[in-house]
Amino acid sequence: MAYEEVLSVLDQALLDLSFIEEEGILNLLRTVFLAIERHVNATADDVPGLRLRLPQLLSLYSQQPNWVLLERLIARAVDSAFTAWIDGIRGGDGISSALQPFILTSFSRWSNRLEYRNEGLDIAVFLKCPEWTPHTISIIKSSIYASDSSRQVTHTFLESGASLNQPALNLAPVLWSWLDASDISDIGSNRTWRHHFNKLTAGIMDTQAPQSHRLTCRRAIFAMIQKLPSLRQELLSDLLTYVKGMSPDILTPEMLRFGKHLIEFLPGESDGFASSLLEHALGWISRSFAGSDLLEARTVKALGALLPVRTIFAF
């Protein structure tokens, strides 16, 4: 069956969502969704047929929020609908893999952003999901960048107690995207933000988590210190307490690189943190030399970059 015919079957099935609980309709939709997914996965191009049906898919998702297959298709439709992807890179642009790290670091993230006006995406439906999947996070991040209303709804969620139930692995990319996309001067004092900050700080040192997670945590907590000046002293105090309590046999390059950026950004205010971090780092490296553990090259390299910065700002 051709892709267009599969979409026409989908249209017929979605004409009346009141029948969606019937087993026959669910089985039909499952078959149709699998056929659509196979087509979508076979191409890196735009998928307008899927994008145009996003309102119907969202209506269905409001009734079937735990349907992972449906969520995967919505994530792809959302990606297709927006003009640029996370960090300014549109999916399927054919960018060389060797250049991607440089581009992700240096690209002006807002240069290609446009407001997303037509699909009526209710991001609250996804924020309220008790268990987020990678597709849930993808939809939320894309919506944050594409719509001011989504940024406002996400802001409310991040200041609510419900956000504390999400693990750092889920929350870090949403926090980073919101801080990166939002034009804020400050949010005032809020205990929830300190909880987020402490969770992200622990994430930087989580050696069991993917490196990409530690990188996202580093970006997010640095953005919090930059963009939330009224909380800065409290955050720096929490950070100093955390560094002093770090396990002596654990250190990550992400924490050291965060320290380097913080010293450059706040050379006077970060002195206590910088001194404690260096004390911990030098203790870690001397124990590693004395023991049988192999030194982790990325961590040693990051320490080498931190030391000159600390020396420059010490005088």
Q: Please write the tens of the pLDDT for every residue from 152-172.
A: 999 999 999 999 999 999 999
Closest CA to 128 of 111, 153, 151: 153
Element (H, E) at 178: helix 168-181
For position 118, what pLDDT does the model report? 44
Cβ contact 77:50 at 8 Å:
yes
Query: What is the pLDDT, as a whole number, of residue 193?
Result: 93
Look at residues 214, 273, 271, 218 and name the one whose alpha carbon lies nearest to residue 241: 273
Are residues 153 and 185 in contact, defined by beta-carbon separation less than 8 angstroms? no
CA dist., res. 232 & res. 238, Å (int): 10
Cα torsion 251, 257, 258, 261: sign: positive
* Alpha carbon 175 to chain centroid, angstroms: 6
Q: Tens of pLDDT along 121-148?
A: 778 888 988 889 888 998 898 888 878 8
pTM for the predicted model, two decimal places: 0.76
Contact between 166 and 158 under an 8 Å Cβ cutoff? The reply is: no
H or E stretch at 270: none
Overall average pLDDT of the 252-257 stretch: 92
Which position has the higher pLDDT, 185 or 262?
262
Q: What token pair was written down for 80?
A: 């297709």
Of all helices (H) and strands (E), which one includes residue 157?
Answer: helix 148-158
**Confidence at residue 78, expressed as pLDDT on a 0 to 100 scale:** 78
Distance CA 50, CA 280 (A): 52
Residue length of the chain: 315
As given in the structure block, the two tokens for residue 264 are: 């450059």
Contact 168, 199 (CB under 8 A): yes
Q: Using CA atoms, how far apart are residues 103 and 99, in angstroms rounded to an integer?
A: 6
Tell me what percent of the residues of the chain surpass a pLDDT of 70: 77
The pLDDT mean for the chain works out to 79
Look at residue 50 and tell me whether its pLDDT is greater than 70.
yes
Q: Which residues contact 305 (CB under 8 A, 6 or more apart)?
A: 256, 257, 260
> Per-residue b/e over 137-174, b at no fewer than 16 CB within 10 Å?
bbbbbbbbbbbebbbebbeebbbeeebeebebbbbbbb
- Nearest Cα neighbor of 66 from 157, 147, 129 is 129
Domain boundary assignment for the chain: 1-81
